[in-house]
Chain A
Amino acid sequence: MSNKDRQITFENVSKFYGEVLGVNRVNLTIPPGITSLVGPNGSGKTTLMNLMTGLLCPTQGTIRVLGVPPDQPEALFRFLGYCTQYDSFPRGITGYQFVHSYLRLHGKTDSEARDLTQHALERVRLTDAADRKVAGYSKGMRQRIKLAQAISHWPLVLVLDEPLNGLDPLVRAETIALFRSLAEEGVHVIISSHILHEVDAISDQVILLSSGYVVAEGQIHGVRTEVEEHPMQILIRCERPGRLASRIFEQSSVVEARVHADGKGLLVRTRDPDEFYLALNRLVLDGVDLESVAPADDDVHSVYQYLIGPDGGSI
């Protein structure tokens, strides 16, 4: 197996919902272990996960999950499980049936599917409630039955959209322990959250998203303490940096904008990256052509305010 076949890669991936930007020019490599996608509401976490699993087709760019393109479900879901953020279920189904009937679509026999279902239910501690209708489950139980379904076929890649939502502290701790043990078994566990604090302790790496852009990526342990109040520096690669600079200065949050030494980019310092990225999106929609946008500070120091600021740190 080549290295590429053990990773999840995004190459220059963009997704537009009509005029609305989902994610833009994402380049990522995700190795095994626990990876967290962190960003506020609407930053593109679900979009990235849906792209990775073929629920959405990218407008541009290529994605490979352990070497497999997401538009081949027959190959992809042999080794991938996805617990979505959608809190809906087929009508009238019990917890047991929910896990069992979709396992049958894997081509498992009835008894194989039964064993796998039992095991998955045990792992999320839902055996007792298995024969009740999912419609009558509590929020936390629905979250766990979705998790059971996602892990039921022993996937190598587990994608979980806000899996800790609605869990009480005890179950949350158990669930985190489950993620850890899966990661130790060599599984890629990809978790999204809008609270950095919630996941940074368990993650091997963190990907920070804001308004559809990857703003930072890397090992995050202790990063919050290192972050200072300095304005964030962003490098924008484009053909005519001078013209872009004049438009970007219209933003009140921009402290400084200067053309890069090589003349093919613009270095911007901003106090409010959130607002800045939004403004940048508007420029892109106006037809301004950007080659790439990336934090200019190489490390995760450029984590922006929201994630480590009052909101993100309070929970």
Chain B
Amino acid sequence: MNSDSGNLWREQVMAIMRLEIKKNFLARRGLWIYLLALAPVLLFAGHSFERLRHGRVCDLGQDNLIFATVFQFFFLRLAVFFGCVGVFMNLFRGEMLEKSLHYYLLTPVRREVLLAGKYLSGVVTTVVIFGTSAALSLAGLYWHIHPQVVRQYLLEGGGLEHVAAYLGITALACIGYGGVFLLMSFLFNNPMIPAAIVLVWEGLNPFLPAALKKISVIFYLQSLCPLEAPLRSKWAFLAINANATPPYLAVPGLLLVTLAGLYLAARKVRKLEINYGAE
């Protein structure tokens, strides 16, 4: 690639993103994604509200553990997960259903560039929605705690690093699940089938042999979480992450899984045919 085509590709990706991001945010069928993102915010705000009603009992350590649990087992595994199903599975499939995909395929844009533009628009959309959700959830969580205590925790107790880690993990989750579900959208017509397959696969992750563990998104995300989720014994197996990967391996590992997904998706998109009749 020379720099000319590099520039052209960048401009094309930007033009695609301008069209797609608007569509992603305003998609009528995507309303439930906002509800998914809103759920943890309401949960933690409600939690704070309860505490306030019963007088200020601030147990920051306890609350942080609650957040760590909800973040790992609801937020990442369900909210971001299904949010990415909703956004990324529809990038191509949604336009196939609406019969508007051919307009893109009739422009002088390489199919791979189109894929990149759509993928990045999905990443921007999900990171904004779920990043906001994570940030508001934390705000809701600390709402009932005395501001002085929160400030001290953030500045001196390593709190800021935790917040940054949660936001970073949220972004990585969108990047990773985005790559996985974009690929799945080329393999399955019904989004619920791959969603179920990936959900089960990731649920089985703790039991898989080391090599298979690595073909996963949650494996890396879990390794990055700043606090371990304290699960009662019955569920403890979910949290066992015997060979947790250090961050300097977990981040590249997750990106590698994403790139592999995108590479396979690029091969599929080259062969993609317009077939509005058979849907």
Q: Which residues of A contact B (CB under 8 A)?
A: 17, 50, 53-57, 71, 73-78, 81-82, 84, 86, 88-92, 101-102, 104-107, 149
Contacts and interface: CB of A to CB of B under 8 A. Distances in A.
Contacts of A107: 8, 11-12, 108
B12 to A, nearest CB: 6
B51 interface: no
Contacts of A88: 98-100
Nearest to B278: A17
Nearest to B103: A102
A76 B106 CA distance: 9
A71 B100 CA distance: 19
B107 A73 contact: yes
B271 A57 contact: yes
B270 interface: yes
Q: Which of A82, A84, A92, A105 has the most CB of B within 10 A?
A: A105
A55 B11 contact: no
A75 B99 CA distance: 24
B106 A77 contact: yes
Contact of A102 (B107, B113, B273, B276): B107
Nearest to A101: B19
B23 A104 contact: no
Interface in B233-279: 270-271, 273-276, 278
Which of A56, A57, A75, A91 has most B Cβ within 10 Å? A91
Contacts of A102: 103-104, 106-107
B16 interface: yes
Contacts of B270: 71
Contacts of B26: 92
| Residue of B103, B110, B274 contacting most chain A CB atoms (<10 Å) | B103
A152 B198 CA distance: 44
B108 A74 contact: yes
Interface residues of B, number: 31
A61 to B, nearest CB: 16
Contacts of B102: 55, 84, 86
Contacts of B105: 54-55, 73
Nearest to A55: B274
Given A73-B111, A90-B19, 14 more contacts: A17-B278, A53-B106, A55-B102, A55-B273, A55-B274, A73-B109, A73-B110, A81-B106, A86-B99, A92-B26, A105-B15, A105-B16, A107-B8, A107-B108
B100 A77 contact: no
21 contacts: A17-B278, A50-B274, A53-B106, A55-B274, A73-B105, A73-B107, A73-B110, A74-B108, A74-B113, A75-B108, A77-B107, A78-B108, A86-B276, A88-B99, A89-B100, A90-B95, A101-B15, A105-B12, A105-B16, A107-B11, A107-B108
Contacts of B113: 74
Nearest to A90: B100
B273 A56 contact: yes
A68 B110 CA distance: 14
A91 B98 contact: yes
Nearest to A75: B108
Contacts of A73: 105-111
A91 B101 CA distance: 12
Contacts of B8: 107
